[in-house]
Structure 1
């Protein structure tokens, strides 16, 4: 970026400022829906939330592109774009979308789904940006930034899927991630898999392995009725069950590590409604996802062939209480409230690109939250998208004026003294002293007293006291015929203290 912009447009509002959402498209989005996330557990950070929504009806109404590539998600401010990945079901009633939400508090949280932009490009769905680890094999070769493939690789990428076969070699035929995972940071490993042929003495379809005796993985076998599966738990083979045709069709395999020593296997083939779940104990520590060759390295079985496909694999965060979501009604994304926000005047003149600039907005109400945003305009004139949106609550740092008119007179009754003074303003002599402001008074019968606000034992709360108004207060309970000395301070609602007043003296 070089050169200098022509001008700035700076605006503020007491509510978040929204423009037509256009963070990653050539024009604004036409529609959005509010999504309410309800979290009955502890607060979560960077958590993957599942959204299931009907995209078929939106596509049929010509509000969404046929491939759902104009879907975007934002945080509750309607501006901050969130990472997401469309798992399945494009143009169906049950489109599954995972959204990475930076903060999911305990209770309710709002995010937005935007759609309806013909210029949105090829889409922002990204498995890698959404999950702790993710790969949907959408290239033409294995991503060596994610996987270690060995010198005699038996895996390849074909048709948007990872393909695994057995070459019959002793030392290879296995693929593993560079990234490792531990149950001490609970996670869920999940994949969508189909076996064309299964090795008689097994291959691993999903699991994690650091060594022969330090591993946990799912191992299908064709020797059941008609198939069964085992799982490898460190150095032990554990028989699971006969599972029908579970592994031969597209199915989901999931390994949940809900703690340092707790694991669960879940296998589901939705088209035949076959499901199996196993719960066990196993400590997973710094182990990579590992597929293919048996975990025990038994060389006797290396010549058995198999063919298996993985459409995607991801690792997401685990939560003991899974947040739920409710999709709200559709609303027009409109033009936002940018045009209705307050425009500041005498904006600073843009400097050379990269120069730090500042501007002070005046005339704001203390204690009110304000949101700020700006756009940059060049000399064409082209206008930028709306900026990020900082917000602040202006505070009061100006103290009330010093009281110089306090006077004291002996009261009507014994033990009383009448005090009178002129009220200052909230800010020196400006603004009314409102709710939360107060006068504090220190009294003493000794002339060598230390005058300090911490020694002021009389507090007079104020509400709607205008500057220059006359104030009166009767001090009671004093010792008769004793001379007392008084000083007063004014404290505003922001705890700004005035200077100490003049002195006043009277006999009780």
Structure 2
């Protein structure tokens, strides 16, 4: 089923069913969400069922945003309760549900992964859930959080830090007030909270050397707590005001009338218009009233530029001629200097008051005053459209009181509620996959699976969360696998032929408690669960209250008996299925490649060709139970065994072959043929008997990788590379030129250049024939003399006379180590005896390469 969303089902006759769904269809498409569907009837029609489920299933479909005369729970047919296989916006689900899962590596403890941790210098954190009950989302709003003290904190809260839901990105905060080692009121700028929804942030602490990191200006739209001990950012009658040290409502400094100005009145007051805020804001400030005086102080907002024009709104806690809460505009000093918009009669006490002004986008301005106990003391309001945005400021006609902590933040009808969760630590195992995402896992490798469980029903006790598994073969998804197919996962000792077993881990101890790490859409309060390792496959009995959630985690392993494509995992209550499974974990068996019949040169000795490269082939078969398409590439190294397969590429002894030289061919089913070809140079080092490397061999190691980074390697049986004595005459014919009868070549020598074209040091055997010409003329072979240096024929004592039989001659041609020629020269002389015919004479001189 691809989609039923936004469908329109209508019945024109009484009785019957609009939509029938088989339980098998629900099982193959579990937890499907269907949006905006209408279920209706024509006039006068009754007794119609909107959706009927046929057959039993533990899965469900969820219709959301539905409409029509017969939409909702009251008109379906899916069992007796209000939380069956067909669910609606008005369904009441009281159940225990496995809501999410996530796979982890076994490379850390049960805490948060370091990749999701703000900074290693902070040792602890708590998750703070924030719920917005308003019909509109809140973006970059300052939310008040009551933070309890923890012994890991600094007692003055200076090590407190906040991040968004990622756990790593800092967000601004400001500590309004705190009681040492007890509680703190903290404002945090939350990036986004959905309408009628929740999000979470993290509060970090546990850094004994951290300094204060709060930033009120970044937390609020407008902010001043006067702790900078100056008003340099203000304009206007700045000489009439002073910031003084005082036991303020927040912090150590407050704003007062300057000394000697307490009974005076301001001309324009002081104001800030560089930063502005507007309708859709809540302005909040604290003000001290001295009830023994007749002060008329006003707090300004919506201040227009320039502030000296006195265009503004003002909240005045007025004491003259009588106690009133006044909302005015365009004031210079007191309410009488402007226009009174609204007022309430009150009776002020000498105390601090908190004033909140909700400045609505519909032009309503609503002022609330709270006494020091936090009780609503007075209100007044007006609808006025004179100004829609502006700056802030202060004015007075007589002021013996004080101001403190002026802020503005985005307005919300209902203040978001923050709930501080349980303490968490770092150094947890890394995640293998995203939330609710299947993972491919190699056999005999420890990994972990974590589940979140939610209880919307009555309190449950004695719950033993036992791990179960099932083969997914034959089903489209793990959620579609029937409960009867699930079996308990055995522990390590009792594993037998089970494809999955719980195993022991060195990263935690069986029964350690869990922290809340998985995402939750419900944001239920968290109850610590357990980390499980062998010999356990279930938790100890635990209690889960109604409206609470927990998380459990198991250390497991796929055994060599895991031969199916995929396995499903879930938790249960001691082997009994839970009420529902919103997500069921799926692990795909990640089979590694297997190499067979790997050989080098068909296990024959390697014979090279002198002066050329010789193509030598290593071949074999690679198989992968995930299918041949899972095999990514093969590479190989052909090398002399004394060096090993990690050798550095060298034409003498080590050939590194990339995937281009090792193509996969004849692929079908689960296997391919690997054919790796190495072009071996003629000077590659021999290993046969009598060679310098006798006792070693040449081998080929092959390395195969599949798409999930499983690897396989094997090495061929060793074969010898034969010694090759090779020789080439570079210069061609030996040319003696023209000589007279009874004349020799004197000190003019012909030259022949010999090149070693093999893989060993060589000398030569050399023989020749008489040089003949004409009818029967011959120059005896012995008349040719040769030497490794130039000579004069008649006086040469280092020369050798050429013979008709092969004689050994040392030229000491060393083995080549590259394609750069290794050569040596022989020099020749000749004597032509009397009686030789005056024609060209020819002979043959033969050179044989022999071992040096």
1:196 has 2:290 as partner: yes
> Do the aligned partners of 1:198 and 1:222 also contact (CA within 8 Å) in 2?
no
Deviations 1:149-180 (A, max 9, x none): 44644343444212235477776361111235
Shift of 1:137: 1.0
Query: Which residue is equivalent to 1:137?
Result: 226
CA 179–86 in structure 1, closer or farther in 2 if over 3 Å, else same: same
Which residues of 2 match residues 383-398 of structure 1 at below 5 A?
none
CA 182–140 in structure 1, closer or farther in 2 if over 3 Å, else same: closer
Counterpart Cα distance in 2 of 1:18 and 1:335: 6
1:120 has 2:213 as partner: no
Matching residue within 336, 360, 365 for 1:263 = 365
Counterpart Cα distance in 2 of 1:220 and 1:155: 19
Counterpart Cα distance in 1 of 2:310 and 2:191: 37
- TM-score, scaled relative to structure 2: 0.34
Counterpart Cα distance in 1 of 2:410 and 2:376: 26
Task: Report the secondary structure of 2:257's partner residue.
Answer: strand
Query: Which residue is equivalent to 2:172?
Result: 83
CA 321–272 in structure 1, closer or farther in 2 if over 3 Å, else same: closer
Counterpart Cα distance in 1 of 2:265 and 2:412: 40
Query: Which residue is equivalent to 1:109?
Result: 199
1:46 has 2:140 as partner: yes
Counterpart Cα distance in 1 of 2:171 and 2:399: 40
Which residues of 2 match residues 354-503 of structure 1 at below 5 A?
430-431=629-630, 468=668
Deviations 1:267-323 (A, max 9, x none): 111238451122321223332212114xxxxxxxxxx53223222111111123432
Deviations 1:360-384 (A, max 9, x none): xxxx98xxxxxxxxxxxxxxxxxxx
Task: Report the secondary structure of 1:128's partner residue.
Answer: helix
Shift of 1:134: 0.8
Query: Which residue is equivalent to 1:98?
Result: 187
Matching residue within 313, 321, 332 for 1:216 = 313
> Do the aligned partners of 2:125 and 2:205 also contact (CA within 8 Å) in 1?
yes
Which residues of 2 match residues 211-290 of structure 1 at below 5 A?
214-223=311-320, 227-233=323-329, 236-238=339-341, 240-246=343-349, 248-271=350-373, 273=375, 275-283=377-385, 284-290=387-393
CA 63–82 in structure 1, closer or farther in 2 if over 3 Å, else same: same
CA 118–171 in structure 1, closer or farther in 2 if over 3 Å, else same: closer
| Larger Rg, first or second structure (1 or 2) | 2
Query: Which residue is equivalent to 1:174?
Result: 269
Equivalent pairs, count: 319
Counterpart Cα distance in 2 of 1:262 and 1:181: 19
Counterpart Cα distance in 2 of 1:252 and 1:188: 13
> Do the aligned partners of 1:199 and 1:221 also contact (CA within 8 Å) in 2?
no
CA 169–200 in structure 1, closer or farther in 2 if over 3 Å, else same: closer
- TM-score, scaled relative to structure 1: 0.54
Deviations 1:232-263 (A, max 9, x none): 145531452332225x3111111111215121
> Do the aligned partners of 2:178 and 2:185 also contact (CA within 8 Å) in 1?
yes
Shift of 1:213: 7.8
Counterpart Cα distance in 2 of 1:272 and 1:319: 19
CA 46–52 in structure 1, closer or farther in 2 if over 3 Å, else same: same
Counterpart Cα distance in 2 of 1:130 and 1:51: 13
Which residues of 2 match residues 278-357 of structure 1 at below 5 A?
278-283=380-385, 284-293=387-396, 305-331=398-424, 333-337=425-429
Task: Report the secondary structure of 1:134's partner residue.
Answer: strand
Deviations 1:110-152 (A, max 9, x none): 211111211112x1122112111111111232142xx224464
Task: Report the secondary structure of 2:217's partner residue.
Answer: helix
Shift of 1:17: 4.9
> Do the aligned partners of 1:69 and 1:124 also contact (CA within 8 Å) in 2?
yes
CA 271–221 in structure 1, closer or farther in 2 if over 3 Å, else same: same
1:29 has 2:122 as partner: yes
> Do the aligned partners of 2:147 and 2:183 also contact (CA within 8 Å) in 1?
yes
CA 468–44 in structure 1, closer or farther in 2 if over 3 Å, else same: farther
Task: Report the secondary structure of 2:388's partner residue.
Answer: coil
Counterpart Cα distance in 1 of 2:300 and 2:293: 15
CA 272–133 in structure 1, closer or farther in 2 if over 3 Å, else same: closer
1:66 has 2:142 as partner: no
RMSD: 3.9
> Do the aligned partners of 2:243 and 2:255 also contact (CA within 8 Å) in 1?
yes
> Do the aligned partners of 1:155 and 1:163 also contact (CA within 8 Å) in 2?
yes
Counterpart Cα distance in 1 of 2:668 and 2:390: 75
> Do the aligned partners of 2:268 and 2:310 also contact (CA within 8 Å) in 1?
no
Shift of 1:221: 2.4
CA 191–170 in structure 1, closer or farther in 2 if over 3 Å, else same: closer
Counterpart Cα distance in 2 of 1:83 and 1:103: 13
Does 271-280 or 208-217 show the bigger shift?
208-217
> Do the aligned partners of 2:281 and 2:411 also contact (CA within 8 Å) in 1?
yes
CA 220–171 in structure 1, closer or farther in 2 if over 3 Å, else same: closer
Query: Which residue is equivalent to 1:148?
Result: 235
CA 87–151 in structure 1, closer or farther in 2 if over 3 Å, else same: closer
Shift of 1:20: 8.8
CA 232–273 in structure 1, closer or farther in 2 if over 3 Å, else same: same
Counterpart Cα distance in 1 of 2:377 and 2:360: 20
> Do the aligned partners of 2:161 and 2:205 also contact (CA within 8 Å) in 1?
yes
Shift of 1:31: 1.9
CA 173–198 in structure 1, closer or farther in 2 if over 3 Å, else same: farther
